[in-house]
Amino acid sequence: MKTNELIERPSKEFNNDFEVQSLDEGYIQHSAQDHFPQQKLPYLFAGVLFGILLVKSEVISWFRIQEMFRLQSFHMYGILGSAVIVGIISVWMIKKFDIKTIRGESIQLFPKKFNKGQIYGGLLFGCGWALTGACPGPLFAQIGTGAFIVIITLYSAIAGTWLYGLIRHKLPH
Amino acid sequence: MSFSEWLHEPWPWYVAGPLIGLIVPLLLIIGNKPFGISSSLRHICAACLPSGIPYFKYNWKHESWNLFFVAGIIIGGAITALWFNNPKPILLNPILVGQFQQQGITNFRGLLPPQLFNWNNLFSAQGFLLVVVGGFLVGFGTRYAGGCTSGHSIMGLSNLQWPSLVATACFMAGGFVTANLIIPIILKW
């Protein structure tokens, strides 16, 4: 008997999105209790922390993004570089010492498979990042700081995601 | 510098960068979640406008932690703006400041240049390209690439995934071309 029948998988859909964990091959749903709203609060607090970091580090500033792409400052490279180094050490330690989640589950990490979308989509996103001065996380943070015009940017990003879903089977991957 | 002044200062990269990196183990240890934000846009589509499209037919409720995470980002942005806001203009490279001033951008307060990102400008070609076209490319491009700066450049690279390195290189390439060749043209309008 499989225990994860709950999870609906889109039939025969090619998966190039490794951020939707329940679509990953071999994903095991551990936490049935994860569906209660109070179980989501830790993620809300993690988001608050990340939002504060995004604003205080100025990575959500349109000006900082222009400075980065014009190679006029080390700031953004320093942030991304040190974040990746800390991330690499953390993931290595989790694997090395078999660190469990707070509920005692084994931590599952899934490989990201290569497809041409990472090139074409990456170039398009890079273009959007320079124009708006924001990637998806900063969009939400900018709205939080009161830059309400960014709500239009967010609606447009949702429309872009929707259109990708509609025409993806016609795109090279 | 007084304590209250210090609270309003922006943080240097060597403080903020490592703390951002710690979000990766934090989400894994809280509940086995991979850091990645752009998928929230897909969940919003799946929840609100699935329109029978197979790409949006999945159990988005199973991924709803991600929507709580982005709601937290909005709250975090609001908390910072209300109580820890930096009132001074952003300290940029003087070369960039000079280049922008020549193109008419003189207000360096806030996170977005108020002269470009305002409701009146939205209906000009300039504002439309920066806000609407830019936003569209962020949403379309991140899903086509399967991730954004957080999902590929931080989470993917932390897990030593080479496709994420390819994606990151393409993010940067797209950004370099746009910021150096296209934005100077847009600013002239």
CA-based nearest residue to B137, from B92, B182, B75: B182
Give the A:B interface size as CB pairs under 8 Å. 555
CA dist., res. B120 & res. A68, Å (int): 28
Residue A104 has pLDDT above 80, yes or no: yes
Taking the CB of residue B17, how many other CB atoms lie within 10 A of it?
Answer: 25
DSSP notation for B46-66: HHH--TT-GGG-S-GGGGTHH
Q: What residue segments make up the domains of chain B, in order of their start? A: 116-189
The whole-number pLDDT of residue B122 equals: 92
Select the residue from A33, A68, A112, A170 to test the B interface by mutation, using most B Cβ atoms within 10 A: A112
Q: Does the beta carbon of A97 lie under 8 angstroms from any beta carbon of chain B?
A: no
DSSP notation for A25-79: TT-----GGGGSGGGGHHHHHHHHHHHHHHHHTTTT-HHHHHHHHTT--SHHHHH
Residue A7 Cα to chain centre, angstroms: 21
| B:41-80 residues touching chain A, CB 8 A cutoff | 41-45, 49, 51, 53-59, 61-66, 68-80
The whole-number pLDDT of residue A35 equals: 66
pTM above 0.80, yes or no: yes
The whole-number pLDDT of residue A29 equals: 67
- pLDDT tens string for chain B (189 positions)? 788 888 899 999 999 999 999 999 999 999 999 999 999 999 999 999 999 999 999 989 889 999 999 999 999 999 999 999 888 889 999 999 999 999 889 999 889 999 999 999 999 999 999 999 999 999 999 999 999 999 999 999 999 999 999 999 999 999 999 999 999 999 988
Dihedral-angle region of residue B53 (phi above 0 means left; psi in -120 to 50 means alpha; beta otherwise) = beta
Residue A102: half-sphere exposure toward Cβ, Cα within 13 Å:
11
Do B139 and A141 lie within an 8 Å CB cutoff? no
